[in-house]
Amino acid sequence: MSTTAAVVVYGATGHTGRFVVAELRRRGFAVVASGRDAARLEALAADWGDVAVRPATADDADALDRALAGAAAVVNCAGPFAVTAGPVVEAALRAGIPYLDVAAEIEANVSTFADHAEAARKADTPVVPAMAFFGGLGDLLVTAALGEWTAADEVHVAYGLNSWRPTAGTRVAGQVSHQRRGGRRVRFADGALQYHDDGPAQQDWHFPEPLGRRRVIAEFTMADVVTVPSHLAVPVVRTYMTTEAAGDLAGEDTPAPVPVDDLGRSDQTFVVDVLVRAGGVERRATARGQDIYAVTAPLVVEAVRRVLDGRTRTTGVASAGAMFDAADFLRALAPYLSVELPH
């Protein structure tokens, strides 16, 4: 098959990568599957039937260049992103094609903004990190909730997950982040990331019905603390996680997700509830759906489509909320997401 103008999925054999390949194919994109394991790529390509294979390891620039040759864009689904994001961004810029990833690692996203902003701007090439459930969805909801505002006093993003069956990739990424922080925790306050040794605190969060009042871990810090302040003047960004999901993630014996429907989704459900405050005024935005890994696929594929169609608001390195019309983007995700935005 011809791979001209195809979308390369780097890390195509991973849990999220397979969802992304399926969503791209469902929406009519030609796909090139890439990653470090040639045998697994070939096995999956045999099942897919219409997907080309171009193996490459992140430390082989020539192989990455061959993988991206002639492509329209690349989606990086291969964690840990502390290892893969930099090399794949650089390969995308050499190829002159947009780069998107699904990184939830806070420090990896910080590095993407810090290390590649100038090169991406000079190349006039979109680079969209954290275009996923963590980092991307929250940023879109915050941006849509703010509407005409470009600043806020506080941003709160509460994750109401009924459970969290972590993938192997999630566990590895968590270990990498823990090591990079020296075991410390992180928050975004006073306009900056702050590393600290404070223990986790709990509080109640009033989610929209039917979830209602739930116990959450406060300052369960996710990638939104990078994406939101990257384009909005916000001194405080706090994220929260339901205690049930946090306990699942912490459990060494918690099993991986198990598919329960034809799309391969697990039975996990979620509510992402965003509250923004500015000048004494509060605004709220909420999204509901099923399976945080599976929903990443329509998020990043919708972003690919908009980047390739030119429906973007900027270029260079930018988060979802800066790159796209947030409210319009969120509404386009039906039926994957049910979204409630301020009128």
pLDDT above 50: residue 4:
no
Residues 256 and 314 in one domain: no
Arithmetic mean of pLDDT, 309-318: 97
97-140 confidence digits (pLDDT tens): 999 999 999 999 999 999 999 999 999 999 999 999 999 999 99
Strands, E assignment, 190-324: 192-196, 201-206, 213-218, 237-242, 269-278, 281-290
Residues 164 and 307 in one domain: no
- Whether residue 316 lies inside any domain: the answer is yes
Residues 172 and 102 in one domain: no
Residues 240 and 217 in one domain: yes
pLDDT above 80: residue 8:
yes
Residues 19 and 104 in one domain: yes
Residues 285 and 312 in one domain: no
Residues 303 and 269 in one domain: no
Residues 156 and 276 in one domain: yes
Query: Which residues are within 8 A (CB) of 176 and not within 5 positions of it... i.e. 6 or more apart?
Result: 80, 82, 83, 105
Arithmetic mean of pLDDT, 317-339: 97
Q: Which residue has the tokens 């929250």?
A: 138
- Whether residue 1 lies inside any domain: the answer is no
Residues 140 and 180 in one domain: yes
Residues 206 and 303 in one domain: no
pLDDT at 189: 97
231-272 confidence digits (pLDDT tens): 999 999 999 999 999 999 999 999 999 999 999 999 999 999
Mean pLDDT across the chain: 96
pLDDT above 60: residue 306:
yes
197-216 confidence digits (pLDDT tens): 999 999 999 999 888 999 99
Residues 116 and 191 in one domain: no
Contact call for residues 224 and 313 (beta carbons, < 8 A): no
Query: Which residues are within 8 A (CB) of 184 and not within 5 positions of it... i.e. 6 or more apart?
Result: 195, 196, 197
Structural domains in the chain (count): 2
pLDDT at 299: 98
Residues 73 and 114 in one domain: yes
Parent domain of 34: 7-132+297-326
- Whether residue 331 lies inside any domain: the answer is no
Task: Assign residue 228 the CATH number of its domain.
Answer: 3.30.360.10
- Whether residue 2 lies inside any domain: the answer is no
